[in-house]
């Protein structure tokens, strides 16, 4: 179905730790509008698309979202690398540390664990694509908020790349949505 290439879709090489930013970045790892939520949403919805074009699009974007999970995981790891327990506490990540040590774990910045209740699949391709477009727009907005929270060029590069991919995904979903509406799919 697809081939895993053992390099990131966009290189991440963060030199300065920033635990407060890492905490905020959890939104794109395990939050409601995260890359993980998008990947699972699309990879589940693909099965009920009415044609191969829809199935292929959701498969392609869903697997790309998994690559984005990998980028976010790498960013989190590099932002927190070599952090002391005191730095973790100062950044408001003591609860995370208590539960998970220095492991990366899918939560939002408030420590709420990832849940599949963040997304839906209703068996209606037009409704699902409408949700998918909204998910891409929300993820784009979150990336823009994260971009506003840092001036580190090593972090900004991957965030700008990921934000742009949200725009591309929205456009692709909108094209399919318009086609399905025109064909009268429900």
pLDDT band at residue 127 using 50, 70 and 90 as cut-offs: very high
What number is the average pLDDT over the span 4-13?
Answer: 91
- State the Cα–Cα distance between residues 1 and 102, nearest whole angstrom: 34
Q: Is the pLDDT of residue 3 over 80?
A: no
Domain ranges of the chain: 19-183
Task: List the structure tokens of 66.
Answer: 């998994």
- The pTM for the full model equals 0.95
Q: Give residue-wise pLDDT tens across range 16-34.
A: 999 999 999 999 999 999 9
Q: Is the pLDDT of residue 186 over 80?
A: no
The C-alpha angle with vertex 89 and arms to 83 and 91, in degrees rounded to 5, equals: 75
DSSP β-bridge partners for residue 112? none
- What superfamily does domain 19-183 belong to in CATH? Ferritin, core subunit, four-helix bundle (1.20.1260.10)
- State the Cα–Cα distance between residues 106 and 30, nearest whole angstrom: 4
The C-alpha angle with vertex 139 and arms to 62 and 179, in degrees rounded to 5, equals: 55
Q: What was the pLDDT predicted at 83? A: 97
């Amino acid at each position: 179905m697809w081939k895993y290439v053992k390099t990131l879709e966009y290189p991440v090489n963060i030199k300065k730790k920033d635990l407060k930013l890492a905490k905020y970045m959890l939104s794109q790892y395990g939050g409601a509008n995260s890359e993980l939520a998008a990947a699972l949403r699309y990879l589940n919805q693909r099965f009920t698309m009415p044609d191969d074009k829809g199935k292929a699009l959701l498969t392609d974007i869903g697997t790309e979202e998994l690559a984005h999970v990998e980028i976010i995981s790498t960013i989190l790891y590099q932002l927190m690398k070599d952090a002391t327990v005191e730095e973790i506490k100062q950044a408001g990540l003591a609860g995370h540390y208590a539960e998970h040590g220095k492991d990366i774990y899918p939560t939002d910045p408030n420590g709420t664990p990832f849940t599949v209740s963040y997304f839906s699949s209703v068996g209606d391709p037009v409704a699902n694509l409408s949700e998918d477009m909204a998910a891409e727009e929300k993820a784009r907005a979150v990336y823009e908020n994260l971009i506003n929270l840092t001036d580190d060029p090593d972090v900004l590069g991957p965030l700008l790349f990921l934000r742009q991919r949200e725009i591309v995904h929205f456009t692709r979903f909108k094209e399919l949505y318009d086609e399905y509406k025109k064909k009268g799919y429900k």
